[in-house]
Chains A and B, each alone.
Chain A
């Protein structure tokens, strides 16, 4: 997944860059303090106890801050580093809450620390969003690309894909695709946390045995465009199928980062979908193992059941 960054500058972007530099310096300062005097920093934040765990956790946070600070100030991938700060902020709130609950806290200091963390989180999100912004439309677009070679002719491969209602049998996230006589299609897919997302799409281009491309229309839950290209593999090895998707994930870039942490990596998901497509064309069905009883699925690969017969 790559954010598509524009090179066009806006005032908003300059502000975000300045804010990012400030946050980078802040990270370095805080990290140094956490490493130099972990107990003092923890006290200041409201955690009362002192001990190897408090010292260890605070020092680890310090190391993280130093890495992030250096990353932000390096000027490369700044938006990514800022999003890592946002994730760090969430972690800090959780750590502080757990630390306070387990070890006892000074309520006033704890309240102040949490308020300060909330403030920093807002600044991080503003800076990160500012730098992730694409052009003037403020969209957060993700892109996924994957390819597979199918041991079948271009005509057969194209034909199977061109019936869009076939797609849910190998695209793990699609619940259904219904094509109207007009050529418009209704799509239903599994969204974040099991929700359902819907959109309508139209075919933009359809050249037999070569390419199909589509885009969502109207008020889509997930705005998206995509294309699939078919070309002969060298040496008579069948057909190379290349799919490219661009979409605006629900919850924007933060939503995409969160989804990625939950194992929803779009490039791998698309690769898994294409492997299922290949299986359907080459052997007529999706291959299942006892560890992955529903076949290729990115999420299932992270949460395998034991390799034991399915009861």
Chain B
């Protein structure tokens, strides 16, 4: 089959690879109908996530049709149309039983590697490094889906691929950003990053009854898209974000702050950006934590900082004094997609939201390298790329 493979820093290639086969009893093979490039794929593309190998198949946002099932799969049949969550979760361990499927204790055969860097291992993810499992991803014609009876969500055919594809990652991830921040009626929320995950975080805040949402980015078309969803916007290259947020909230600061940027943030002050960029290049820190620092400093007293942007290792100059003395709470995590999928599918079915609003580019799988370049450069007003095998 054809699959988009990681071939080194800033390099991907669509190659011919073997077709997947059943390896475990609860596996299913899915023939992929739609797959997307995620912002977190760009962290891999840029070489910031350790333990990648040349030839790894990328992609963790995909859906398709079940074409084969293992002997241990119940409740799923050949021909079913499914959306697949990006974390791989068994459904029976302690973490899965408590709904924390991004922390599944059984899915990562390389937990020993993750332990060395992270202390304990989280769940494995599709197409996201060997430390997180060494599973091929879904930017391909077919994928093996482990624990398919627990993971894959069946979707009726009346909803188009483009409306349900993002249940695999970015819609639930954005929603969990709002959920971890306990966003509710009357809240003022600031969202750093108006990429696809940021857009879904903004939309989710409104779904949960937030009164005002302020989106922060530097790219015009992203800010325009956020405005269309109802957000107020700040261009961090034009204004000082902490000052603007204070002014917009009567000096209090936003009640809830969502970091939808992560480890590769930019800073409007070139000197500060260069400082962290240099430390990152010299392996003195793995992150450029501008957003994290700004979110903590800007958040209202007693507020909540919710982190859904991806971080990989260690961060410097975290403003612990501000965090402690002002009774802030921080929550962070890869999304427990399984927990949110059914509710969010209902929102789509009810017409509360049409997730296809973020799509700007549609291309065949063979154009994946072009898709990565376009998305990285935000060229041609690129917000989200969907690939069709």
Contact for A268 among B24, B107, B112, CB less than 8 A? B112
Interface string of A238-272 (1 = CB under 8 A from B): 10000000000000000000000000000010011
Of A282, A288, A304, which is within 8 A of B24 by CB?
A288
Interface SS of chain A: helix, strand, loop or mixed?
loop
Q: Does A308 contact B (CB under 8 A)?
A: yes
Q: Are B109 and A285 in contact (CB under 8 A)?
A: no
A310 touches B146 (CB 8 A): no
Report yes or no: B106 in contact with A291, Cβ–Cβ below 8 A. Answer: no
- A282-B92, A289-B110, A289-B134 known; A307-B17 Cβ under 8 A: no
Contact with B along A267-299 (1 / 0, CB 8 A): 010011001001100111101111111011110
In the complex the two chains form, is B110's CB within 8 Å of A292's CB?
A: yes
Please state if A291 and B23 are interface contacts (CB–CB under 8 Å).
Answer: no
B105 at the interface (CB under 8 A from A): yes
* Contact indicator A310/B18 (Cβ below 8 Å): yes
Task: From B107, B130, B137, give the contact of A287 (CB < 8 A).
Answer: B107
State whether the Cβ of B20 lies closer than 8 Å to any Cβ in chain A.
Answer: yes
- State whether the Cβ of A74 lies closer than 8 Å to any Cβ in chain B: no
The one of B23, B90, B97, B130 in contact with A283, judged by C-beta atoms closer than 8 angstroms, is B90
Would you call B53 an interface residue if the criterion is a C-beta within 8 Å of the partner chain's C-beta atoms?
Answer: yes
Cβ of A160 < 8 Å from any Cβ of B?
no
Known: A283-B26, A308-B5, A309-B136. A271 touches B20 (CB 8 A): no
A contact residues around B109 at 8 Å (CB)? 287-289, 291-292, 295-297
Are B136 and A307 in contact, with the CB atoms below 8 A? yes
Measured CA separation A298–B57 after assembly (Å): 23
Question: Which of B55, B72, B93, B115 contacts A151, CB < 8 Å?
Answer: B93
How far is A66 from B198 in the complex, measured between Cα atoms in Å?
A: 53
Are the CB atoms of B135 and A290 closer together than 8 Å? yes
CB contacts under 8 Å to A, within B30-64, are 51, 53-57
- A307-B135 CB under 8 A given contacts A285-B24, A285-B25, A291-B110: yes
B72 touches A237 (CB 8 A): no
**B215 contacts A by Cβ under 8 Å:** no
Asked if A306 is an interface residue, CB under 8 A from chain B, the answer is yes
- List residues of chain B with CB within 8 A of the CB of A296: 109-112
| Contact among A238, A271, A283 for B106, CB-based, below 8 A | A283
Q: Which residue of B lies closest to A288 (CB)?
A: B23
CB closest chain-B residue, reference A302: B113
- A308–B94 CB distance below 8 A: no
Q: A268-B112, A284-B72, A306-B56 in contact; A278/B134 too (CB < 8 A)? A: no
B19 interface hit (Cβ, 8 Å)? yes
- Whether A149 and B17, one on each chain, are in contact in the complex, defined by CB atoms closer than 8 angstroms, is no
A237 contact set on B, CB distance < 8 A: 94
Task: Count chain B residues whose beta carbon lies closer than 8 angstroms to a beta carbon of A.
Answer: 44
Chain A residues closer than 8 Å to B72, beta-carbon distance: 284
The distance in angstroms between the C-alpha atoms of A289 and B127, with both chains bound, is: 11
- Quick check: B112 and A298 within 8 Å, CB to CB? yes
Q: Quick one: which of A66-82 are within 8 Å of B by CB?
A: none
B309 CB-CB contact with A under 8 Å? no
Interchain nearest-CB distance for A239 vs B (Å):
11
List of A residues within 8 angstroms of B144 by Cβ: 290, 309
C-alpha spacing A182/B369, complex, angstroms: 65
Question: Do B133 and A289 have beta carbons less than 8 Å apart?
Answer: yes
Task: Compute how far the CA of A292 lies from the CA of B23 in the bound complex, rounded to whole angstroms.
Answer: 11
- Chain A residues contacting B26 (CB-CB under 8 Å) are 283
Question: Which of B1, B5, B134, B135 is the most central at the interface, judged by chain A CB atoms within 10 Å of its CB?
Answer: B134
Tell me, rounded to whole Å, the shortest Cβ–Cβ distance linking B127 to chain A.
Answer: 7
Name the interface size band of chain A: 20 to 34
> B56–A307 contact, CB under 8 A?
yes
| A306-B18 CB under 8 A given contacts A271-B112, A296-B109 | no
Whether B18 and A283, one on each chain, are in contact in the complex, defined by CB atoms closer than 8 angstroms, is no
Chain A: CB-nearest residue to B124? A289
Which residues from A are CB-within-8-Å of B23? Answer: 288-290, 293, 310
Tell me the minimal C-beta distance from A266 to chain B in angstroms.
12
CA distance A296 to B92 in the complex (A): 18
Neighbour of A290 across the interface among B90, B105, B136, CB < 8 A:
B136
Q: Are A278 and B54 in contact (CB under 8 A)?
A: no
Contact of A309 with B92 in the complex, beta carbons under 8 Å: no
Contact B130 A307 (CB under 8 A): yes
B105 touches A310 (CB 8 A): no
Cβ of B249 under 8 Å from chain A:
no
Closest to B3 in A: A308
A301 at the interface (CB under 8 A from B): yes
Which residues in A have their C-beta under 8 angstroms from that of B124? 289
Cα(A76)–Cα(B134), bound, Å: 40
> How distant is A172 from chain B, measured CB to nearest CB, in Å?
12
8 Å CB contacts to A: which residues of B228-260? none
Please, which residue of chain A has its CB at the minimum distance from the CB of B113?
A: A301
Is the pair B135, A278 in contact by a Cβ cutoff of 8 Å? no
In the docked arrangement, what's the CA distance between A292 and B112, Å?
Answer: 12
Kindly state the separation between the CA atoms of A5 and B28 in the bound complex, as whole angstroms. 52
Residues of B near A181 (CB, < 8 A) are none
The reply on B21 being an interface residue by CB < 8 A is yes
Convert B117-157 into 0s and 1s, putting 1 for each residue whose CB lies closer than 8 angstroms to a CB of A. 00000001001001001111100000010110000000000
The CA-CA distance from A272 to B112 in the complex, in Å, is 7
Query: Using Cβ atoms and an 8 Å threshold, which residues of chain B touch A309?
Result: 1, 17-21, 57, 136, 144
A287 engages B24 (CB within 8 Å): yes
List of A residues within 8 angstroms of B113 by Cβ:
301
Rounded to whole Å, the gap between the CB of A173 and the closest CB of chain B is 15
Smallest Cβ-Cβ distance to B126: which chain A residue: A307
Our pick among B97, B112, B147 for the contact of A301 (Cβ within 8 Å) is B112
Which residues on B sit within 8 Å (CB–CB) of A308?
3, 5, 17-18, 55-57, 136
Chosen A-B contacts, 12 in total, with CB atoms closer than 8 Å, are: A238-B94, A272-B112, A283-B147, A287-B146, A289-B133, A289-B146, A291-B56, A292-B110, A301-B112, A306-B53, A307-B55, A307-B130
Chain B residues near A (Cβ < 8 Å): 1, 3, 5, 17-21, 23-26, 51, 53-57, 72, 90, 92-94, 97, 105-107, 109-113, 115, 124, 127, 130, 133-137, 144, 146-147
Known: A287-B109, A290-B20, A292-B134. 6 other contacts (CB 8 A): A238-B94, A272-B112, A287-B107, A307-B56, A307-B57, A307-B134
| Closest A-B pairs by Cβ, 7 of them | A291-B134, A306-B55, A292-B109, A311-B18, A309-B20, A307-B56, A309-B18
